[in-house]
Structure 1
Amino acid sequence: MNSYLALLASIIIGIGGQLCLKAGAVQSSGSKLNLFLQPYIFVGLLSYFVAALFYIYCLKKIPISVAYPTVAISYVVVSFLAHLLWGEAFGAKQIFALLLIGLGIFTLNYN
């Protein structure tokens, strides 16, 4: 398996995990124990575990100085999806900050 495909899988699965954690947090009520009984929370944590396995695999070939910052693309995707799914803020400040993240990732990975 290509290391960059493993990195991509890690990022996509991590995005899914983050969205599941948010969905579980929104649905939970009251106690902290109830929070951990939410199916979305369980799926989110499991997703992070699987994403970590793909990430570890990609680190065999991709320098961590490239792989780790590249994961920041998930910030852009999660922010956009959170706006669509939960109506979270997505104003000029967020757009500017996310563009800077995207520019940094592009600069780092462009040969």
Structure 2
Amino acid sequence: GVNNIMFLPIGFLFYGLGAIFMIKSLQREKITVVYPLMCVGYIISMFYGEIFLNEVITKNKILAMILIGTGVFFNCYDK
């Protein structure tokens, strides 16, 4: 992993921004739409882990990404 202290404040910054965006999103849209979209963050985090932390994306992780993406799509899909 990365042992650099400068990533700590950057992490806090992005965490705070995420909280602000989540609050703003909940003010504008239903929770049944907004909350599942947070799961997309897990997919993004997996790619960041592969790029910056040299983590391996296994077949199980790919399957999990597909299931998460499919669930978010069907939950947010409005006819």
> TM over 0.5: same fold?
yes
1:26 corresponds to 2:2: yes
- Greater Cα shift, 79-88 or 40-49: 79-88
Aligned partner letter, 2:66? L
TM-score by length of 2: 0.85
C-alpha distance after superposition, 1:6-52 (max 9, x if no partner)? xxxxxxxxxxxxxxxxxxx7215xxxxxxxxx221112112211221
Aligned partner letter, 2:41? S
Sequence identity of aligned pairs in percent? Answer: 29
Q: Could you say what secondary structure the match of 2:62 adopts?
A: helix
Q: Mind listing any 5+ residue stretches in structure 2 that lack a counterpart?
A: none
Structure 1 residue 57: Cα displacement = 1.0
Q: Mind listing any 5+ residue stretches in structure 1 that lack a counterpart?
A: 1-24, 29-37
* Cα distance in 1 for residues equivalent to 2:41 and 2:75: 15
Paired position in structure 2 for 1:8:
none
* Cα distance in 1 for residues equivalent to 2:68 and 2:16: 25
Paired position in structure 2 for 1:56:
23
Structure 1 residue 80: Cα displacement = 1.8
Paired position in structure 2 for 1:85:
52
Q: Once superposed, which parts of structure 1, at least 4 consecutive aligned residues long, lie more than 4 Å away?
A: none
TM-score by length of 1: 0.63
* Cα distance in 2 for residues equivalent to 1:52 and 1:71: 11
* Cα distance in 2 for residues equivalent to 1:46 and 1:85: 18
Aligned partner letter, 2:2? V
